[in-house]
Amino acid sequence: MNEFSLIKTYFEAIASPREDVLFGIGDDAACVQVPEDMDLLISVDTLVEGIHFLKEWDAYDIALRAVNVNVSDMVAMAATPCWITLAITLPIIDPSWLKRFSLGLSDALRFYRIALIGGDTTKGPLTISLTIHGVAPKGRAVRRKGAKAGDAIMVSGTLGAAALAVAYLNDINLDDGSKKILMDKLLCPKPRMDLIPLLRAHASAAIDISDGLTADLNHILEASQVGATLEFARIPVHPLVQQIQKENAIAFALGGGDDYEICFTLSKDAVQYFADPVLNCCCVGEIESAFGLRAKTLSGEIVPLQARGYTHF
Amino acid sequence: MNEFSLIKTYFEAIASPREDVLFGIGDDAACVQVPEDMDLLISVDTLVEGIHFLKEWDAYDIALRAVNVNVSDMVAMAATPCWITLAITLPIIDPSWLKRFSLGLSDALRFYRIALIGGDTTKGPLTISLTIHGVAPKGRAVRRKGAKAGDAIMVSGTLGAAALAVAYLNDINLDDGSKKILMDKLLCPKPRMDLIPLLRAHASAAIDISDGLTADLNHILEASQVGATLEFARIPVHPLVQQIQKENAIAFALGGGDDYEICFTLSKDAVQYFADPVLNCCCVGEIESAFGLRAKTLSGEIVPLQARGYTHF
């Protein structure tokens, strides 16, 4: 099997058709149609073996995670994901690995109605790089820049579970039920597609929480040239983090990456549009004109907060 | 230095502005405007250390090559390159390497008026994956599919020099002048941007010659469901290949990859539009309805031709 038959066997078959794909895999480039009233959003995420996933992970999960992480970037921009290209570097052709990877990719893409339109297959250390393309009505994509003093800071879902999963990957004292919940959070983040129309309508700024809430919120603050105070009492800590970490629960929720929830800001009178419990969003603080990131601790004290998050180097 | 300061120092500064880029590096996704009358073309190419380039190569050359190889895909589709994203995996932060890489990237992008709009920086074995985006008037991109029996098969430039460079990389008997010419062909392929409007107007099918003429022409034949005969006497063998290889010159020209010239087909009455010597294009054979690839040898015999090219695995 060479790379041509590999592509035919594992990738061409799963290229879910969309009417806006004029042609996909099989030419020097894919060709798609961007609707006239839409801007094009483009984002790339690379997963490296040993850094973003472990060798022993099921290739199905690796594929799911790769797609989910990319979709999350589109949600953060309030863009609808449409097309994806896959650059995959493989040490060898391992049919059983490829079959699982291809199945995971296929399931994830079908779920989001994203078309796999092309890619490149090369030999080398296992690396998966997806470039995702989405659309948003002209001028309506939500950026990191745009938060204003007085805006509420919102967070979707709960935080800290993915970081706890990393910390407890090999902990045999954790019961199987909890382990499964945590690993699911780590392996299969669920991008909040349901928030896209609401973010488009109301958010002044947004980012996905990949490096940790404080680090990612800090990107919004720097881009928007504002500051903020987070209220510890309002941070939506994942119940298992609360239960297992107790003392460090807030630290896990603030500093842990990989949750892929959305942190966004909006004017306070728009908070009501996110009040429906089914949306599972909550206000965690306020944007302020004074630069820097502060916290209101559980005892009510205001303290400076370090914006630490995951860095590669 | 972490990945944020790395991106700021080496990549943000070279993001050449284009009016159709609403915003680029610094958000979860970049945002561009595709003109209403244009289709969007997308292609990705990955370069892996030790496979597509050697550790000892100047990072400037690696960057040039990465961009050129991607631009070549756009030329093959008759698309105008516009925007690029860079997914780079680095083993360490080496400022002098990054400075050279960034300079090469900047020079190449400026030359083609392509904007670097985003990317992802990760830690791991050195891998460079570029996703290029271009535009072509609606329905006018040229595909591999479309060659018809009776069409002329055309090739731009000369063939075999990049393959000869690979074969002679360490040959001390080669004079410095020849070595420089060959390495230039390998390191710095020159995509034929000048052919884009002509291909749009006249080509029935096209592909860039990355794996070798026979292998790449074979992709056109399979996609178009036709066959072909190549005439050895008409193959534009690079003069140095002719001089150094003599007996094997044709084999180098037919089987050697990395030339990044364009192989295209068009109806015979359109060949005249490519006759200007400055275009440096020539007819090398004819598309036929009988499947398979054949050659008319120098002695006039018709023989079957194997479509061998570079494969990764």
Residue pLDDT, tens place only, B69-113: 999 999 999 999 999 999 999 999 999 999 999 999 999 999 999
Q: How confident is the model at residue A109 (pLDDT cuts 50, 70, 90)?
A: very high
Q: Cβ A31–B45 below 8 Å, yes or no?
A: no
List of chain A residues whose C-beta atoms are within 8 Å of the C-beta of residue B199: none
Q: Cβ A127–B34 below 8 Å, yes or no?
A: no
Averaged pLDDT for residues B158-183: 83
Residue B23's alpha-carbon distances to A41, A76, A224, A271, B33, in angstroms, are: 10, 15, 14, 27, 10
Averaged pLDDT for residues B54-61: 92
The predicted pLDDT at position B111 comes to 93
To the nearest 10°, the Cα dihedral for B116, B118, B119, B121?
A: 100
Among chain A residues, the shortest Cα distance to B143 is held by: A27
**Distance from A175 to chain B by nearest Cα, in Å?**
33
pTM of the predicted model as reported, rounded to 2 decimal places: 0.92
Tokens, residue B197: 């409007």
Per-domain residue ranges of chain A = 3-137, 152-304
> What is the C-alpha separation between A74 and B288, in angstroms, rounded?
47
The predicted pLDDT at position B293 comes to 96
> What is the C-alpha separation between A186 and A165, in angstroms, rounded?
6
List of chain B residues whose C-beta atoms are within 8 Å of the C-beta of residue A3: 311-313
- Comparing CB atoms, the residue among B87, B133, B311 nearest residue A87 is B87
Q: Cβ B29–A74 below 8 Å, yes or no?
A: yes
Task: Residue window 140-159, chain B: list those with CB within 8 Å of chain A.
Answer: 141, 143-145
Residues β-bridged to residue A246: none
How big is the A-B interface in CB pairs under 8 Å?
223
Residue A224's alpha-carbon distances to A204, A215, A242, in angstroms, are: 10, 14, 32
List of chain B residues whose C-beta atoms are within 8 Å of the C-beta of residue A136: 31
The predicted pLDDT at position A33 comes to 97
Tokens, residue A259: 């949750």
* Contact in structure between A137 and A217 (CB atoms under 8 Å): no
A119 close to B (CB below 8 A):
yes
To the nearest 10°, the Cα dihedral for B18, B21, B26, B27?
A: -170
Among chain A residues, the shortest Cα distance to B28 is held by: A73
Tokens, residue B68: 């050129």
> What is the C-alpha separation between B177 and B216, in angstroms, rounded?
30
Q: Which CATH superfamily is domain A152-304 in?
A: PurM-like C-terminal domain (3.90.650.10)
The residue among B9, B11, B27 with the most chain A CBs within 10 A of its CB, best to mutate, is B27
> What is the C-alpha separation between B191 and B213, in angstroms, rounded?
16
Q: Cβ B74–A29 below 8 Å, yes or no?
A: yes
ipTM above 0.90, yes or no: yes
C-alpha B209: how far from its chain's center? Answer: 7
* Contact in structure between A263 and A216 (CB atoms under 8 Å): yes
Task: Residue window 261-300, chain A: list those with CB within 8 Å of chain B.
Answer: none
Tokens, residue A39: 């801007």
Q: How confident is the model at residue A310 (pLDDT cuts 50, 70, 90)?
A: low
| Range with lowest mean pLDDT among A42-56, A184-198, B11-25, B279-293 | B11-25
* Contact in structure between A294 and A305 (CB atoms under 8 Å): yes
C-alpha A264: how far from its chain's center? Answer: 13
Q: Cβ B31–A41 below 8 Å, yes or no?
A: yes
> What is the C-alpha separation between B127 and B36, in angstroms, rounded?
35
Q: Cβ A44–B131 below 8 Å, yes or no?
A: yes
The residue among A12, A28, A310 with the most chain B CBs within 10 A of its CB, best to mutate, is A28
- CATH 3.30.1330.10 for domain B3-137, yes or no, is yes
The predicted pLDDT at position A313 comes to 67
Instruction: Tell me: pLDDT of A13 over 80.
Output: no
A121 close to B (CB below 8 A):
yes
**Distance from A31 to chain B by nearest Cα, in Å?**
5
The shares of helix, strand and coil residues in chain A, as percent rounded to the nearest 5, are: 40, 30, 35
Which strand (E) or helix (H) includes residue A148?
none
- One-letter amino acid for residue A96 of the chain: S
Residue from B311, B309, B294 nearest B212 by CA? B309
The 3-state secondary structure of chain B reads CCHHHHHHHHHHHHCCCCCCEEECECECCEEECCCCCEEEEEEEEEEEECCCECCCCCHHHHHHHHHHHHHHHHHHCCCEEEEEEEEEEECCCCHHHHHHHHHHHHHHHHHHCCEEEEEEEEECCCEEEEEEEEEEECCCCCCCCCCCCCCEEEEECCECHHHHHHHCCCCCCCCHHHHHHHHHHHHCCCCCHHHHHHHHHHCCEEEECCCCHHHHHHHHHHHHCCEEEEEHHHCCECHHHHHHHHHHHHHHHHHCCCCCCEEEEECHHHHHHHCCHHHCEEEEEEEECCCEEEEECCCCCEEECCCCCCCCC
> What is the C-alpha separation between B106 and B112, in angstroms, rounded?
10
Sheet holding B115-123, edge to edge: A21-23, A30-32, B38-48, B127-137, B80-90, B115-123
| Range with lowest mean pLDDT among A95-104, B73-82, B177-186, B263-272 | B177-186
Residue from A103, A40, A43 nearest A69 by CA? A43
To the nearest 10°, the Cα dihedral for A90, A91, A92, A98?
A: -30
**Distance from A237 to chain B by nearest Cα, in Å?**
24
The predicted pLDDT at position B8 comes to 85
Q: How confident is the model at residue A168 (pLDDT cuts 50, 70, 90)?
A: confident
The predicted pLDDT at position B232 comes to 95
The label of the residue with tokens 């309002």 reads: A234
Among chain B residues, the shortest Cα distance to A33 is held by: B39
List of chain B residues whose C-beta atoms are within 8 Å of the C-beta of residue A309: none
